[in-house]
């Protein structure tokens, strides 16, 4: 059994990006610039945005944070997006989700210029990705693909079961694993909360991607001997023994599942770090105008 080291791989990806940025700087080129919009005071979102900004600093990207309170109106968010779309110095930007309930998330995402949508959430990018055209691939599934690649995990002809059908993780993950490319060429089953016989379906998975947001939901008796298990889940659960008062749990009961697997990602230290690295990669693509000219 191999524990997939997201920390090592994400550091590798970031180092490669840093080397490219150093070259751009030496040649007097434009330094990639990522902006992040953070609305409200969700603790987890603050942590995610802080780690994105920190990664920009490590790599040598320029970053900006546009921060507003939870009372911000939808119209105000749309105005911020409009100004970022027009700002020629900003190569790509993200609007950190979730947004406060009074803001329509689809409207906000559709307002982002697809050329700057480095999260890959805009319908144009999702549609282009589904068609196999060049597109920004949303960061979490992109990060998972990179882990599979760098560990040279065979995917062709395998049965991949994805648990969770969200727009940002499960659905794009299922499309990517089914595409005619490496890593992909899987036979994919996309499951969700209304799936009948979920346990039996999971037991058939050669590659199991858990992205449902239910801590330690996937138990050992749901996993086939020798399966590859990718745990996307990140849930904060109360833990008095921690200084922060909470612990981070994945969707997989790691201790009991790991011995049955060939490869498994831990939480923390797995997919989460790759998500940030993938976002940085998309930002470099945006600054190089590699997807859209
Ligand atoms: P959503 O809540 O948007 O989607 C959850 C999905 O899981 C839904 O499709 C839901 O089904 C399904 N689901 C819920 N309960 C069950 C169940 N009991 N059995 C089967 N399916 C179920 O979550 P996200 O996709 O945004 O996130 C999933 C997890 O991944 C979360 O823990 C989140 O924090 C984490 N995450 C991690 C990231 C990373 O960087 N590692 C990035 C993004 C998310 P239905 O559609 O029927 O409701």
Q: What is the mean pLDDT of residues 58-86?
A: 98
Domains 7-119 and 139-271 fall in the same CATH topology:
yes
Verify whether ligand 1 is closer than 6 Å to residue 234 (CB atom): yes
| Residue 108, pLDDT score | 98
Please provide residue 211's backbone torsions phi and psi, each rounded to the nearest 5 degrees: -140, 65
**What pLDDT score was predicted for residue 145?**
98
pTM for this entry: 0.96
CB of 206 closer than 8 Å to CB of 158 = yes
Tell me how far the alpha carbon of residue 166 lies from the centroid of ligand 1, in angstroms: 6
Query: Which of 15, 27, 13 shows the shortest CA–CA distance to 288?
Result: 27
The CA–CA distances, whole Å, from 173 to 188, 226, 288 equal 10, 21, 25
> Which pLDDT score, from 0 to 100, does residue 43 have?
87
Least Cα distance to 126 among 225, 117, 51 occurs for 117
Note if 119 is an active site residue: yes
| Ligand 1 centroid distance, CA of 215 (Å) | 10
Nearest Cα to Cα of residue 284 among 11, 94, 18, 8: 18
How far out from the chain centre does Cα 219 lie? 23
Ligand 1 and 194: CB distance under 6 A: yes
How confident is the model over 152-159, as a mean pLDDT?
98
For residue 290, give both structure tokens.
């590699």
Mean pLDDT, to the nearest integer, of 57-84?
98
pLDDT of 244 higher than 90: no
The active-site residue, picked from 5, 96, 224, 249, is 96
Give the 3-state secondary structure of 55-108: HHHHHCCEEEEEEECCCCCHHHHHHHHHHHHHCCCCCEEEECCCCCCCCCHHHH
Nearest CA to ligand 1 atom 18: 193
Q: State whether the beta carbon of 275 lies less than 6 angstroms from ligand 1.
A: yes
Catalytic residue among 52, 115, 116, 158: 52
Q: Are strands 228-231 and 207-210 parallel, antiparallel or unpaired?
A: parallel
Ligand 1 atom with the shortest distance to the CA of 235: 32
Is 52 in the active site?
yes
Tell whether ligand 1 has an atom less than 6 A from the beta carbon of residue 148: no
Closest CA to 177 of 214, 216, 149, 213: 149
CB burial string 84-105: b at 16+ within 10 A, e below: beeeeebbbbbbbbebbeebeb
Confidence at 126, pLDDT banded by 50, 70, 90: very high
Q: How far apart are CA 270 and CA 279, in angstroms?
A: 15
Element housing 45 (H / E): helix 43-59
Which residues belong to the annotated binding site for NADP(+)? 164-166, 234
Q: What is the mean pLDDT of residues 237-241?
A: 92
Listed by start position, the domains of the chain span 7-119, 139-271
Which range (26-35, 218-227, 234-243, 274-283) has the least confidence?
A: 234-243
Question: Is residue 293's pLDDT more than 90?
Answer: no
Question: Is 167 an annotated catalytic residue?
Answer: no
Residue nearest ligand 1's atom 16 by CA: 193
**Per-residue model confidence as pLDDT tens digits over 192-225:** 999 999 999 999 999 999 999 999 999 999 999 9
Strand order in the sheet with 207-210: 2-3, 263-264, 228-231, 207-210, 159-163, 187-191
Cβ of 164 closer than 6 Å to ligand 1, yes or no, is yes
Kindly give the distance from the C-alpha atom of residue 211 to the centroid of ligand 1, in angstroms, as a whole number: 5
Q: Residue 183, preceding bond cis, omega within 30 degrees?
A: yes
Q: Among 3.40.50.300, 3.40.718.10, 3.40.710.10, 3.40.50.10860, what is the CATH number of 7-119?
A: 3.40.50.10860
CATH 3.30.1490.20 fits 139-271, yes or no: no
Å from CA of 158 to ligand 1 middle: 23
Scored b (16 or more CB within 10 A) or e, 23-46 reads ebeeeeeeebbbbbbbbbebeebe
- Can you read off the two tokens belonging to residue 115? 């050329």
Averaged pLDDT score across all residues of the chain? 97
6, 192, 194, best to mutate for ligand 1 pocket (most atoms within 8 Å of CB): 192
């Amino acid at each position: 059994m191999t524990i997939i080291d997201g920390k090592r791989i994400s550091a590798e990806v970031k180092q490669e990006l840093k080397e490219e940025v150093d070259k751009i700087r030496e040649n007097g080129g434009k330094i990639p610039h990522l902006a992040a919009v953070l609305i409200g005071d969700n603790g987890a979102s603050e942590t995610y945005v802080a780690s994105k900004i920190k990664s920009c600093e490590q790599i040598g990207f320029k970053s900006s944070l546009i921060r507003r309170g939870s009372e911000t109106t939808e119209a105000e968010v749309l105005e911020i997006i409009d100004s970022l779309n027009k700002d020629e110095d900003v190569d790509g930007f993200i609007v950190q989700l979730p947004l406060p309930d009074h803001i329509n998330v689809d409207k906000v995402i559709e307002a982002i210029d697809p050329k700057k949508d480095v999260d890959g959430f805009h319908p144009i990018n999702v549609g282009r990705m589904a068609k196999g055209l060049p597109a920004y691939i949303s960061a979490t599934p992109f990060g998972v693909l990179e882990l599979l690649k760098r560990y040279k995990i065979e995917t062709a002809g395998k049965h991949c079961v994805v648990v969770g059908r969200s727009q940002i993780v499960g659905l794009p993950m299922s499309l990517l694993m089914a595409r005619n490319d490496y890593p992909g060429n899987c036979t994919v089953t996309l499951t969700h909360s209304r799936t009948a016989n979920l346990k039996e379906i999971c037991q058939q998975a050669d590659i199991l991607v858990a992205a449902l947001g239910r801590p330690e939901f996937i138990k050992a008796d749901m996993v086939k001997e020798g399966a590859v298990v990718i745990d996307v889940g990140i849930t904060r659960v109360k833990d008095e023994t921690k200084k922060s008062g909470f612990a981070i749990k994945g969707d997989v009961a790691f201790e009991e599942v790991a011995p049955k697997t060939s490869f498994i990602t831990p939480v923390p230290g797995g997919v989460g770090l790759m998500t940030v690295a993938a976002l940085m990669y998309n930002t470099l693509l945006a600054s190089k105008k590699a997807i859209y000219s």
